[in-house]
Structure 1
Amino acid sequence: MPAVTSTPAAQSVEFFSADEVRELLSFETAINALEVALRDGLSPESDGPRLFADAPNGEFLLMPAQSGTFSGVKALTIAPENPERGLEKIQGLYLLYSSDTLAPIAVMEGSCLTAIRTPSVTLTAVRHLARLAPAGAELGTDPRILVFGAGTQAIEHIRAALVDFPDATFEVIGRRPERVAAMIAELGARAATAGVSVVAPADHDGAVSAADIIILTTTSTSPVFDGSLVGANAIVAATGTHGLDAREVDDALVRRADVVVEGRGSARRENGNLATTYDDAAWESAPPANLQDLVLGNFTRTSDRPAFYTGVGMSWEDLVCASAVYTARTHP
């Protein structure tokens, strides 16, 4: 009689729509999850390089990461011409796996995850830079925040900033005034941001000088303002570009600022904001602090110097956020 064999039942794979991701992953939840992961020993320096490949009219981007419980891959497309067509620049999916069996356990809409993850990482950095402000330069709940960019990330960074700065006032600068006006109208129509003060300043240089916090979410390949104008104790966060040939801030700002990066390895490979101020010798002898250093308090801000955080997006951040989404549904 032939031997009887059985095939193990396939594990079900749960799907999370964009609406479900947003419902389960508030900015506060994401920021707290990132902080916990970094405090518990997750090192940004253990993150592997992102994988890029050509795609029609853009690029494919794969971002694998692993942890003891979950592992995952974010599979995205980047279409630089899409915003001009009224479409999303970044689209894709997140695939979550059990680290124990490497069985897939969830698929999540990736654009929404990115839209929450990126500002959550930025505001994690801003939160801790604000807490480490020099004596006499502390921020209240109502700082003046200047945002460069008028796309999805600009909107989401404003929403994320309200977690720690609920009474902040916002100014928005973009290349196209009509897009800035549309963004301000959209924020005013959203329940979460209705009543928040958001305006487009007439004097751009004056807005830079007066801002307590400056957030850059552009796709610029060259600096968007004069770094010498930034206030002595202001916080600047640049997160809109990746690649050594793209940058949002100039050397004048980098040289006069206390600098923090997401991860030293990723910044050295991909961050154009630092490419002309940090050569190989500087990376080896005096590298900047990373996000884990900042969250653990292993960073000192200098009086009368701006603080500058810059990131390009890292795979571990998506895994932390995707894990939080999955856990929120399966272990509420």
Structure 2
Amino acid sequence: MTAKAESPKTADLPYFGAAAVRTAAPWTTAVAALERALLGAVDPEQDSPRLFSPAPGGEFLLMPASGAGYSGVKALTVAPGNPARGLEKIQGVYVLIDSDTLAPLAVMDGTELTSVRTPATTLLAVSRILAATPGGQPERPRVLVFGAGIQALNHVRAAHALLPEASFAVVGRRPERVRELIAALAEEGIDAREGRVEEVPHADVVLCTTTSTAPLFDGALVAPNAVIAAVGQHGLDAREVDATLVRRSDIVVEGRASALREAGDLIPARSAEEWKAIKPANLRELVQGGLARTPGRPCLYAGVGMAWEDLVIAALVYEGGTRK
């Protein structure tokens, strides 16, 4: 009789902290892993919806995902009052699970995992949309970034890795935060400067990475053929871009079902019934070459964050840290 393999004890599970997550998932590696997943078995339309539950002073957020080899769940807490106390608004962990036995394999920093997978997914979308630009993509893209938090910082880092010839300008509500972000980038050898909303018409790429619930700029000002990524918010009551931009743009979404549930940037501009009829391209279709851009129109990528992305990066971190 063959002995049954023991499941790892909880105390024996490897833990990957923030530094380990960053080391195992550099930007180009993370983007390549997401693209391989989309070219393989991952279908964003089959992704599990995120689950919310009340918590003291905030809420719990659970994001489960399943795959052939690995499954997992990200467990986060959202505490809106924390920033005023000098604490992080969102905190949590990721539990990676063996799909065959459902045994836990590892635990890792869920906040850092989010900080990596979101920009990696955005830049996968932006780079592929740029590649489909009528007449070819700009040799030196001008990138305008809205936001001065960790997502803005990491989106510039990821954009620099994927678009090494790009120039960067950063727009934020608090000039001191913008200057701190620019200084942090300078220490890493990435040049950026303070930007202004008035630069929107001249940008080739606009990255919206804010917590704003109101549009950041007039969508009529966006240049023809420009690429805009609105990824800082999720929820039907939150938006970073206006209906004008949505209606004049080609649209790419992470997943159509997730966009209908949570993409506040899209739903006010058109009804759910209209979006079902339009059927905008999702990420899988984008990387498979299914986007035909309309000459003279901007292209808007609307991202809300999906559980399959966490699973792809968590597997990358685990394999990089345990299979050496």
Fold match by TM threshold 0.5: yes
Cα offsets for 1:247-303 (capped at 9, x unmatched): 000001001100000000000001100011231321332221100010000110111
> CA offset at residue 138 of structure 1?
1.7
Question: Please, which runs of 5 or more residues in structure 2 have no aligned partner?
Answer: none
Aligned CA RMSD, in angstroms, stands at 1.5
> CA offset at residue 229 of structure 1?
0.5
Distance 2:223 2:89 in 1: 32
> CA offset at residue 187 of structure 1?
1.7
> CA offset at residue 85 of structure 1?
4.3
Kindly indicate whether residue 108 of structure 2 is the aligned counterpart of residue 113 of structure 1. no
Distance 2:77 2:27 in 1: 24
- SS of match in other structure, 1:62: strand
What TM-score, normalized to structure 1?
A: 0.92
Q: Counterpart in 2 of 1:3?
A: none
Cα offsets for 1:205-260 (capped at 9, x unmatched): 2x111111000010111101000010111100010001100000000100110000
Question: Please, which runs of 5 or more residues in structure 1 have no aligned partner?
Answer: 1-5
Q: Counterpart in 1 of 2:141?
A: 143
Q: Counterpart in 2 of 1:187?
A: 185
Q: Counterpart in 2 of 1:68?
A: 68
Alpha-carbon spacing, 1:177–1:85, altered in 2? closer, same or farther (3 Å): farther
Cα offsets for 1:303-325 (capped at 9, x unmatched): 11001001100000000110111
Distance 2:173 2:149 in 1: 11
Distance 1:41 1:257 in 2: 29
- SS of match in other structure, 1:156: helix
Alpha-carbon spacing, 1:321–1:7, altered in 2? closer, same or farther (3 Å): closer
Distance 1:74 1:310 in 2: 22
Distance 1:198 1:80 in 2: 30
Deviates more, 1:13-22 or 1:244-253: 13-22
- SS of match in other structure, 1:171: strand
Identity of aligned residues (%): 52
Cα offsets for 1:121-145 (capped at 9, x unmatched): 000000100111101x5222x2110
> CA offset at residue 7 of structure 1?
9.0
Alpha-carbon spacing, 1:82–1:170, altered in 2? closer, same or farther (3 Å): farther
> CA offset at residue 8 of structure 1?
6.1
Distance 1:188 1:257 in 2: 34
What TM-score, normalized to structure 2?
A: 0.95
Distance 1:166 1:111 in 2: 26
Q: Counterpart in 2 of 1:313?
A: 305
Kindly indicate whether residue 200 of structure 2 is the aligned counterpart of residue 200 of structure 1. no
* Count of equivalent residues: 319
Question: Aligned partner of 1:180: which letter?
Answer: V
Kindly indicate whether residue 281 of structure 2 is the aligned counterpart of residue 289 of structure 1. yes
Task: Please list, as runs of the form range in 1=range in 2, the aligned pairs for 1:83-102 lying within 5 A after superposition.
Answer: 83-102=83-102
Question: Aligned partner of 2:43: which letter?
Answer: S
Does structure 1 retain, via aligned residues, the 8 Å contact 2:182–2:191?
no
Question: Aligned partner of 1:138: which letter?
Answer: Q
